[in-house]
Amino acid sequence: MASKVTLADLAKLAGVSTSTASRALNNSPLIKQETREKIQELAKIHSFSLNAAASRLRLQKTNVIAVIINLDDETEQSIDDPFLLKVVSDINLAVNRQGYELLLSNSYMAGDDWHGYFISGRRADGIVVVGQGKQQHRIERAVEAGTPLVVWGDPKTACNYPIVGSDNFLGGKTATQHLLDRGARRLVFLGEPAHAELGERYRGFQAALADCASADAQLVRIDITSQAAYQQINQMLRQDGLTFDGIFACSDMVALGAMKALKERYVSVPNDVRIVGFDNIAMADISHPSLTTIAQNTKQAAELLVAKLLAQLAGEQPSSEQVAIALMQRQSS
Amino acid sequence: MASKVTLADLAKLAGVSTSTASRALNNSPLIKQETREKIQELAKIHSFSLNAAASRLRLQKTNVIAVIINLDDETEQSIDDPFLLKVVSDINLAVNRQGYELLLSNSYMAGDDWHGYFISGRRADGIVVVGQGKQQHRIERAVEAGTPLVVWGDPKTACNYPIVGSDNFLGGKTATQHLLDRGARRLVFLGEPAHAELGERYRGFQAALADCASADAQLVRIDITSQAAYQQINQMLRQDGLTFDGIFACSDMVALGAMKALKERYVSVPNDVRIVGFDNIAMADISHPSLTTIAQNTKQAAELLVAKLLAQLAGEQPSSEQVAIALMQRQSS
DNA sequence: GTGAAAGCGCTAACAG
DNA sequence: CTGTTAGCGCTTTCAC
C-alpha cells in the first residue's frame, strides 16, 4: 500500500532540512551535486513524489493546460470526427513536451465562466480552445477576464486573442483550382460557410471560380457530418440527376459521405465527378478511390498553439498565425 | 483582469467567517438557507471560485481521474484510430457526469511509476487505462502500490484489477459464424493475437471454425493499422492470387485497409471476398461497400469503468465485466 | 448557526 | 551550501 511519505519524512531520512530536500528534488543549483543525488536516490527508493496539490497552492501555478473541445451543438461536427482526435492528440504531445499536463474538458464541465472555473479555480494556467464555434462570447468573456487563451480556428478572424489554424482561404482556393484544372466546371461547395473556418474555405472556393468564366457553382449547406453529406448528395441525385461534376467538401468526412452516395448511384469518381476534401485524415488515404484533400499541419499548429499560450503566461502578446496547407492529390480527382 | 478574490475576502464582504463562507459554498446544511444564498450570490457577483489546489491539499482528494492511453509502441494500433477517440470521449462524459475531471495522459508523461506520479503526487484519485498493451507490468505495479485503477481491455484476463471490455470471444465467434453463414469457406484472420483483446477474438474465430469441417483458416499477423492491412493483402494477392474468400479483420481500420487492397485488384466485396470488421467506427457505415462489423458498446463500457473506479475509491473491490457486442450487418458480407 | 484556529505539504525569503 | 520560518487558501474540529 501507499506509504504516505512527505517531503518532511524524506528530509528526516536524509538528515537534511525540508528546504534542502525541496531544492534537491527541484534540481536547484544551490544544492551540492552530491546531496542532490543522495536525496533523489532516496526519493526513488521510497517512491516519493512531491504533492502536486501542495506545490500548486504554494506556487500559484498548476502546470496544467486545459483543452476545451468547443463544438457548437450535438448535431454539428461530431466528436467522432477523427480529425479532432488528431488535433487533440497533437496538442497533448506539444503540451507534454513543455512539461505541462492536459486537462481535457468540454463546455459541459466548464460552464460559461471559463476564467472562474479554470484560472481562478487554479485548475489550469491557460486554455486551448479547439474550434471557434459559431458564437464566440464564452471565449471573449474569458479573455476579458484575463485568461491566457489560444484558439484553434481561422487565424484571419479579427480578435484580441491568438488563433492558430490553416490558411483556409488558400486551402479552399487550391482545392477549387485543382478541380478546375482537372476539368470540372459545375462545382458544388458542400458545407456550412457560417462556421468561421469553413467560411474562409468557401471564400477561397469563390475566388478560384471568379477567374474562370466558364464554370458555375452552387453552395450546398449541410451539417458537417458524413451522414448529412451522404443524404444530401443522394437526394440531389435522385431529384435532379447529376447536375455537377466537381465537389469541394469542407472536410474529409463530408467528402467520404458524398463519395459513398455517388458510388451507390454508379456515378464514377473521378470520371463523372471529381472530389476534393479537407483535413487529410487517415481514411482519405485508405478510401477507394483514395481521396484528394487539403492537408492541415496539425502537428505544427499544436506546437504553435502551446508556444503562444506559454508566451502569454510569460506576459507577451503573441499574434494569430497561419500554418501552411498542402494539396494531397490522390485518385478522387 | 482577474481580481484575486479569496474565500477570506468573500467572507469579509459577506460579514461572516471563512468557515461559514466555506460551508455555504459547499452547500452545507449547517448553514441557514438565507445565509447560504446570500454568500453564493456574492460569489457569483465577484466571480469567485474556490481554489482547487488549496482544497485538494486540504481534502487529500483531487476529484480528477487520469486516463492513460496505453499503446504498445508507435507502430502498433495508432493513436489515429477513431475508435480510441470514441472510447476516450465516452469516458470523458462518464467522468464528468460523476463530477470528476479528466487528466489526459500517456506513457510519456506518467513514466513507469504511475502510482507515484498520479496518486502520491496528488494529480488524480484514480486511473483509467485504455488498452492493456502486451506487457502489463506497469499496470500491475501501480495496482500493487494501491492505485485505484480500471482497465479497458479484455475482461477475461485474470488479474487483480477490474477490466471492462467487450465479449471479444463472442464477437470473434459471431463475426466468423456470420462469414461461414454467408458461404465463405477459406477464411483469414487479420490481426495480432498476441494482443489480449485480439487474442480472444482469434479464439472466437477458431471456435466458430471448429464447428465447420469444410472450412479452412489462416492466421495473418500484421500491425493493427489500415496501412499494414492494405500492404499485406496487396502482397498476398500479388504473390498467391486469391486464396481466401472471407476476412475477419481485428478492427475496422484494418478491414478498411484490406478492402482497399481488394478493390484495387478488382476483387469484389462481398461477392469474391466477404469481410467483417470490429468496432463499428463511423467510417464503417460510410465506406463503400459499407462494412459489416461487430459493434462495441463504448458508452456503456465507459460508464462501467468509471463506476468501478469510484467503487474502488469507496473501498470496494469491483470485478471485471463484459459488455455485449452486436453484429452490424452491412454490405461487405 | 456560526466563529476561531489548526494544519494539509510544499517553497522561498531570509539568515546564517 | 543549508536551515528556519512563514505562509499559499481552504476545510473542519471544537467551542460557543
pLDDT band of A190, cuts 50, 70, 90: very high
Q: Mean pLDDT across the stretch A292-315? A: 97
Q: Mean pLDDT across the stretch A284-304? A: 96
pLDDT of residue B77: 47
Contacting residues of A for B285, CB less than 8 Å apart: 226-227
Residue scoring higher pLDDT (A258 or A77): A258
pLDDT band of B145, cuts 50, 70, 90: very high
B80 falls within a domain:
yes
Angle in degrees, CA B125, B130, B132, rounded to 5: 110
B161 shares its domain with B188: no
Please identify, among B59, B83, B101, the residue that sits at the C-terminal boundary of a domain.
Answer: B59
The separation between the first and the last C-alpha atoms of chain A, rounded to the nearest angstrom, is 61
Parent domain of A144: 64-165+297-322
Please state, in angstroms and rounded to a whole number, the distance separating the CA atoms of residues A116 and B84. 31
Please give the nucleotide, over all strands, whose C1' is closest to the CA of residue A32.
Answer: D1
B186 shares its domain with B43: no
pLDDT of residue A103: 96
pLDDT band of B313, cuts 50, 70, 90: very high
pLDDT of residue A25: 92
A102 shares its domain with A175: no
In contact, A192 and A287? CB cutoff 8 Å: no
Please give the nucleotide, over all strands, whose C1' is closest to the CA of residue A57.
Answer: D8
B55 shares its domain with B160: no
Q: Mean pLDDT across the stretch B227-243? A: 96
B286 falls within a domain:
yes
pLDDT of residue A2: 47
A173 shares its domain with A269: yes
CA of A130 to nearest chain B CA: how many angstroms apart?
A: 14
pLDDT of residue A77: 46
Judged by CB atoms closer than 8 Å, whether chains meet at A54 and B257 is answered as no
Please state, in angstroms and rounded to a whole number, the distance separating the CA atoms of residues A77 and A87. 14
pLDDT band of B76, cuts 50, 70, 90: very low
Query: CATH number for the domain including A75?
Result: 3.40.50.2300
pLDDT of residue B308: 98
pLDDT at B60 over 90: yes
Query: CATH number for the domain including A18?
Result: 1.10.260
How does pLDDT run across A263-273, given as a tens digit for each residue?
Answer: 999 999 999 99
Please give the residue of chain A at the shortest CA–CA distance from B85: A85
A330 falls within a domain:
no
pLDDT at B102 over 50: yes
B263 shares its domain with B234: yes
B197 shares its domain with B132: no
How does pLDDT run across A244-265, given as a tens digit for each residue?
Answer: 999 999 999 999 999 999 999 9
Residue of B104, B115, B299 to mutate, testing the A interface (most A Cβ within 10 Å of its Cβ): B104
Closest partner CB to A101 (pick from B50, B86, B103): B103
pLDDT at A74 over 50: no
pLDDT band of A101, cuts 50, 70, 90: very high
Q: Mean pLDDT across the stretch B82-111? A: 89
pLDDT of residue B75: 42
A328 falls within a domain:
no
pLDDT at B22 over 70: yes
Question: What is the residue whose three cell numbers read 503526487?
Answer: B121
A2 falls within a domain:
no
Residues within 8 A of B (CB atoms), A 110-169 only:
113, 115-117, 119-123, 145-147
The single-letter DSSP state of residue B17 is -
pLDDT at A109 over 90: no
Q: How many domains does chain B have?
A: 3
For residue B233, the SS3 value is helix
Residues within 8 A of A (CB atoms), B 35-94 only:
47-54, 56-57, 62, 64, 67, 78-80, 82, 84-86, 88-89, 92-93
**Radius of gyration of chain B measured on its C-alpha atoms:** 25
CA of B47 to nearest chain A CA: how many angstroms apart?
A: 6
How does pLDDT run across A128-139, given as a tens digit for each residue?
Answer: 999 887 668 899
B30 falls within a domain:
yes
pLDDT at A278 over 50: yes
pLDDT of residue A243: 96
Q: Mean pLDDT across the stretch B261-280? A: 96
A46 shares its domain with A89: no
CA distances, B230 to each of A99, B11, B186, B201, B233 (Å): 37, 65, 19, 20, 5
Contacting residues of A for B48, CB less than 8 Å apart: 116, 120
B137 shares its domain with B209: no
A125 shares its domain with A202: no
Q: Identify the burial level of B266 via C-beta atoms within 10 angstroms of its C-beta, where 0-12 means exposed, 13-18 middle and 19 or more buried.
A: exposed
pLDDT band of A32, cuts 50, 70, 90: confident
Contacting residues of B for A253, CB less than 8 Å apart: 282, 286
CA of A323 to nearest chain B CA: how many angstroms apart?
A: 21
Residues with CB under 7 A from strand C: A 4, 6-8, 18-19, 22-23, 25-26, 50-51, 54-55, 57-59; B 15-20, 23, 30-32, 35, 54, 57-58, 60
Let me know how many helices (H) and strands (E) chain B has, helices first: 14, 12
The 3-class SS string of chain A reads CCCCCCHHHHHHHHCCCHHHHHHHHCCCCCCCHHHHHHHHHHHHHCCCCCCHHHHHHHHCCCCEEEEEECCCCCCCCCCCCHHHHHHHHHHHHHHHHCCCEEEEEEHHHHCCCHHHHHHHCCCCCEEEEECCCCCCHHHHHHHHCCCCEEEECCCCCCCCCCEEEECHHHHHHHHHHHHHHCCCCEEEEEECCCCHHHHHHHHHHHHHHHCCCCCEEEEEECCCCHHHHHHHHHHHHHHHCCCCCEEEECCHHHHHHHHHHHHHCCCCCCCCCEEEEEECCHHHHHCCCCCEEEEECHHHHHHHHHHHHHHHHCCCCCCCEEECEEEECCCCC
CA of A211 to nearest chain B CA: how many angstroms apart?
A: 34
High-pLDDT (> 70) share of chain A, % = 96
pLDDT at B72 over 80: no
pLDDT at A85 over 90: no
Name the residue type at position B132: Q
pLDDT at B332 over 70: yes
A194 shares its domain with A212: yes
The mean of the pLDDT values for chain A is 92
Contacting residues of B for A287, CB less than 8 Å apart: 256, 260, 287
A185 shares its domain with A233: yes
Tell me the CA–C1' distance in angstroms for A13 and C11: 20
pLDDT band of B34, cuts 50, 70, 90: confident
High-pLDDT (> 70) share of chain B, % = 96
Contacting residues of A for B119, CB less than 8 Å apart: 2
Element (H, E) at B122: none
Residue scoring higher pLDDT (B136 or B177): B177
The mean of the pLDDT values for chain B is 92
Q: Mean pLDDT across the stretch B193-211? A: 94
Please tell me whether the overall predicted TM-score, pTM, comes out greater than 0.85 for this model.
yes
Point out which residues pair with A22 in neighbouring strands.
Answer: none
Q: Which of A169-183, A247-261, B120-134 has the lowest mean pLDDT?
A: B120-134
Retrieve residue A123's grid coordinates: 485548475
Q: Which of A84-98, A102-116, B10-24 has the lowest mean pLDDT?
A: A102-116
Q: Which of A259-268, B66-75, B85-94, B291-300 has the lowest mean pLDDT?
A: B66-75
Name the residue type at position A77: Q
A327 falls within a domain:
no
B1 falls within a domain:
no
pLDDT of residue A86: 87
